[in-house]
Structure 1
Amino acid sequence: MDLIICNTPFQAIQIENLIKKEIIKEFELFFFCYEETEQMLFYYNKLRSYSKCSKFYVCNKRFPLYFFDIKYIFGNKKYGNIYTASVECIYTHLILSYSSFGKLFTFDDGSANFINTSFYYVNKRSKFASIIYRVFGCKYDLFKTKGLINKHYTIYPNFENISNNIEVVDFCFSYHQIKKGDKESVDVLLGTVYKEITKQSDDLIKKIGNFFEDENFYYIPHPRDTEKYFKNGILIDGVEIAEIKILKLLEVYKKINVYGFNSTAQVNLSNLENVSNFCFKSELIERDFDVKYNYKDVEI
């Protein structure tokens, strides 16, 4: 049996896509996350329905207790293939270390796959941590894991990726029927974790609010920052990822203007002719990922 390692809702969408294409067949599921949320449980249960057996693991234990957990779960386990997106993660490295397997296959985890300064390209583990981890039986790190990749399944054919051995697959949104709506157009703001991109989050939020002024728009908050910041923002809540929510809006509107911060969701929607992407630029924003796709800069 194969093993599927999943860490995020977007990864779950990718895995479901590979299952529907019959690339992944019989498998055991290990779904780990750093906080148990309604959204995480929703996507875990979707994948769980396809699996032979499954485990939902919340990463809330300190070192080295989680080492013992992973060894208890995966020690002496044997798998045909292992599928994962999280090649940089200690939990993936421990699973590879404690189990035996045939081949390693990977798939996309969003824009981090093709931004060469992301955690998929820069090893952030210190030498001291590497030594301690090896003492506890961890044989893998970012680069050794990437070197094992037999094939990488990607939805981003126009970008370089973490492996040269790629197979392009149609994005899962192709099976979602899009019926163009009758209303003309609408603006959608994709939220972020503002404190992670600026030290002046209140000022940035105020600038964004001023940009939209009194015009109503839809607001899709980041899963880790669900506060409603904008009085004229119509909140789209729920467990589905932002891409699915926007596709549902296309059943109402002929055109959607998506504003955000150069997120994975914007990249994923960039090929839809009735979606226009706009990325905010500001001296307040400290994170600047130079991802080349079809979008326009908006200075605020």
Structure 2
Amino acid sequence: MIDHLGIINYDLLYITHNNSEEDRSYFSRLSSSATISEYVYLPPARFDLFTHIKLRLRVRSWFCDCDYKNIYVASINSLVINALICRFSFSNLYTFDDGAANLVKGGSYYIDPSTKRMTVYRILFKGLAVEKVRKRIARHFSLYKGFCNIVEESRITYLDGWRSEYQRAPDITSPRERTKRYFIGAPFEEVMSGQEIERMIDLMLAVGIDGYIKHPREKKELPIGGIILDKGGRIAEEVILEDSVGCAVELYGFLSSVMMNLQGVSEKRVVFLPGHHKLTGVGELARESGCQEVYLT
């Protein structure tokens, strides 16, 4: 997006709760051209309110009296990012995809939870409901053409992103040596029950995988075999394309941006979902993107 818009003078605030190798690599690349840059790592506290309060204090210098003509953000549902958006109420607001989260209809990027707690949080942090922030967006930048996003089509600019450089075109004249199967890790305990995770493990052991791509928020990889691929700070897509040269590709895991981005180079994409997701935006997105759904309950 920075290259597409030709932005040469910018400040960078990078917030992470993981401090992963990927986070540090992304920050290093982005901050190298920034005028002012700050990397903020804050591990999640036991109670989420404490995490938000600590983060607000850590980034208080960004709420200073300086003004920006344009601001670019991803996580509009974040209490602190939301508050920053409100602080710069006279700036032009631009947003960009936060993985595939923007594509999940009715999700946290579309509307606030209808709870008293969220209402209190927005008041406490001087923020706005997500649906009101969406109305302020001047333009959204996305990789995903053909899918609904947090603003209507007329306010979306589509970018080629990493694919223009890394995605290989399939060569139907060259025979594939073999099929390589990759498991895309995720913080499964956040979205699945222990029983559902065990069911997924059993299914993956039956499939057999060649490579395991661990997620930055994944506390411990699942015991399903396969080599843990070292990403070296790169995105999973780059690692899979490099490791699978000359082979057909199959992907397994939770629905994610990796599943979306590698649609053109994967012969099969299988997503594991809790049963209650079948009638939600997550299940709908899985079907729209051409993934094979496996519901665990």
TM range (shorter): 0.7 to 0.9
Residue of structure 2 equivalent to 1:35:
18
Aligned mate of 1:107, from 96, 99, 113: 96
Partner SS state of residue 5, structure 2: coil
Query: Counterparts of 1:119 and 1:131 in 2: how far apart (Å)?
Result: 17
RMSD of aligned Cα (Å): 2.8
Percent of paired sites with the same residue: 23
Counterpart Cα distance in 2 of 1:298 and 1:124: 27
Residue 175 of structure 1 corresponds to which residue in structure 2?
A: 165
State the SS of the aligned residue for 1:237.
coil
Residue 278 of structure 1 corresponds to 269
TM-score by length of 2: 0.80
125-134 or 76-85, larger mean C-alpha shift: 125-134
Tell whether 2:134 aligns with 1:146. Answer: yes
Pair 173,221 (structure 1): closer, same or farther in 2 beyond 3 Å: same
**Distance across 2 between alignment mates of 1:196 and 1:31:** 23
- Are the structure 2 counterparts of residues 195 and 64 from structure 1 closer, same or farther at C-alpha, using a change threshold of 3 Å? closer
Note if contact 1:197-1:287 (Cα within 8 Å) is conserved in structure 2: no
More helix by share: 2
Which stretch shows the higher mean deviation, 198-207 or 115-124? 198-207
Give ranges in structure 2 of 5+ residues lacking alignment.
Answer: none
207 and 166 in structure 1: CA distance in 2 versus 1, 3 angstrom threshold:
same
The size of the alignment, in residue pairs, is 276
DSSP-derived class of the 1:117 partner: coil
Change in CA separation of 1:293 and 1:26 when aligned onto 2, cut-off 3 Å: same
Identify the residue that residue 3 of structure 1 maps to in structure 2: none
- SS of 2:250's partner is strand
Aligned equivalent of 1:296: 292
Could you list the per-position Cα deviations for residues 53-95 of structure 1 after superposition, in whole angstroms to 9, with x for gaps in the alignment? 1011123572544434433332212111000111111121221
Report the TM-score when normalising by structure 1. 0.80
How do 1:165-204 residues align onto structure 2 when only pairs under 5 Å count? 165-176=155-166, 178=168, 183-199=177-193, 200-201=195-196, 203-204=198-199
Q: 1:133 Cα deviation (Å)?
A: 4.4
3-state DSSP of counterpart to 2:237: helix
Give the superposition deviation at 1:280.
4.1
SS in 1 for 2:247: strand
Taking the TM superposition and a 5 Å limit, the aligned residue runs for 1:143-292 are 143-164=131-152, 165-176=155-166, 178=168, 183-199=177-193, 200-201=195-196, 203-212=198-207, 215-225=208-218, 227-230=220-223, 232-238=225-231, 239-250=233-244, 252-270=245-263, 272=264, 274-281=265-272, 286-288=276-278, 289-290=282-283, 291=285, 292=288
Contact 2:255 2:272 in 1 (8 A): no
Task: Structure 1 unaligned segments of length 5 or more: list them.
Answer: 1-17
How much does 1:126 deviate? 3.8
